[in-house]
Amino acid sequence: MPEPVRLAGAVVDIAVPDRSRRMAGVSMAGFHGCADRPTELALVPYPAFTVFIDFGDVWFVDDVRGVGERGSAVIGLGPAGVRGCGRAVDLLQIRLSPVVAHAALGGSSESGGTVVALEDLWGRDAGRIQERLHAAESWDERFAIAAAALTRRQAAGRPVDPEVAFAWARILLSRGRIRIDRLAAEIGWSYKRLWSRFRAQIGLTPKRAAQLVRFDYAVHRLAGGDSAALVAAESGYTDQSHLHRDVMNFAGVTPNGVAVAPWLSVDDVAWVDPAYAAAV
């Protein structure tokens, strides 16, 4: 198990599944620790749906919509304004590619950029799975239970169109820098049809999804110590002001602020391959 890390005032142990047990488009990590006092942690948007199954006292607040959820919650793709609050950290975090999430969670377009209770998507099954996870005696057992549940839900769900899955993969491969009209031409669809089908199944328009992927690449470069000028030049932004606007739009802070965001500080530990959960 990796060494404990300090996260928003709490000393947290992080567990990750064995590489041989990982699923395509899915990444999981377990967090356990306690802060000296109740604290808050702003979430940085990521190009994946994030499922939190909480066994402590953490709850999630969507400041944009003015709503909060305790226990198991799903954070969709999208803008800033979501934060986690609590003192006792004991939760399983699962990142799902939107291609996987469409089948495994359902209702992708309805949950884009919002906080949704897992029960609203999985019904009573959510409670049963959470009970099994809570009773598990190890993180490995929790990872296995979660993987089995996701596999079952994904098999029973409706997959995205192959063209939509291809479009998402191309957006990832280009780090968000592909032109959407070119993408539509590669698929053989009209721009309007790609926009409509992609939005319905992924939860964002193709252009917004590309902006999110580009933003994710940029903020990880910033967190790694690269200058804003260099990141803007090498990430497809027209200039540093363009990067500043995009980071403010998605994260609600400046590039300097997101570079030291606690949310990004554990990525090298919790998410060994940061792009894994976003992959198809």
Across 116-120, 223-227, 228-232, 249-253, least confident range: 116-120
C-alpha span between 275 and 97 (Å, rounded): 10
CA distances from 193 to 164, 181, 197 (A): 10, 11, 6
Stretch 30-46: mean pLDDT: 86
pLDDT digits (tens, 9 = 90+) for 62-81: 877 777 777 788 888 876 78
Q: Is the pLDDT of residue 250 over 80?
A: yes
In the chain, what are the domains? Answer: 5-158 (2.60.120), 162-259 (1.10.10.60)
- Asked if residue 87 has pLDDT above 90, the reply is no
Check pLDDT > 70 for residue 111. no
- Residues 180-227 pLDDT 10s: 999 999 999 999 999 999 999 998 999 999 999 999 999 999 999 999
> How many angstroms separate the CA atoms of 215 and 219, rounded?
6
Q: Say how far apart CA 69 and CA 62 lie, in whole Å.
A: 9
For residues 218 and 249, the answer to whether their CB atoms sit within 8 Å is: no
Confidence of residue 265 (pLDDT cuts 50, 70, 90): confident
Q: Tell which residue, 204, 23, 188, has the closest CA to residue 102.
A: 204
Do 218 and 48 contact (CB within 8 A), yes or no? Answer: no
Q: How confident is the model at residue 107 (pLDDT cuts 50, 70, 90)?
A: low
**Mean pLDDT of all residues in 82-100:** 89
CB 110 within 8 A of CB 75: no
Q: Is the alpha carbon torsion for 103, 104, 106, 112 positive or negative?
A: negative
Look at residues 62, 66, 54, 69 and name the one whose alpha carbon lies nearest to residue 83. Answer: 62
Residue type, 75: I
Q: pLDDT grade, residue 5 (50/70/90)?
A: confident
Name the CA radius of gyration of the chain, rounded: 18
d(CA 156, CA 29): 24
| Angle value at C-alpha 53, between 76 and 84, nearest 5 degrees | 65
Average pLDDT taken over every residue of the chain: 88
3-class SS of residue 48: coil
**Per-residue pLDDT, 273:** 57
Residues 258-278, buried b or exposed e (16+ Cβ, 10 A)?
A: bbebbbbebbebbbeebbbbb
C-alpha span between 139 and 81 (Å, rounded): 30
Q: Tell me the three state secondary structure of residue 202.
A: helix
What pLDDT shows up at residue 22? Answer: 79
Q: Could you give the CA distance from residue 196 to residue 59 in angstroms, rounded to a whole number?
A: 33
Compute the average pLDDT of residues 39-61: 88
How many angstroms separate the CA atoms of 17 and 10, rounded? 22
Summarize the confidence of residues 43-48 as an average pLDDT: 92
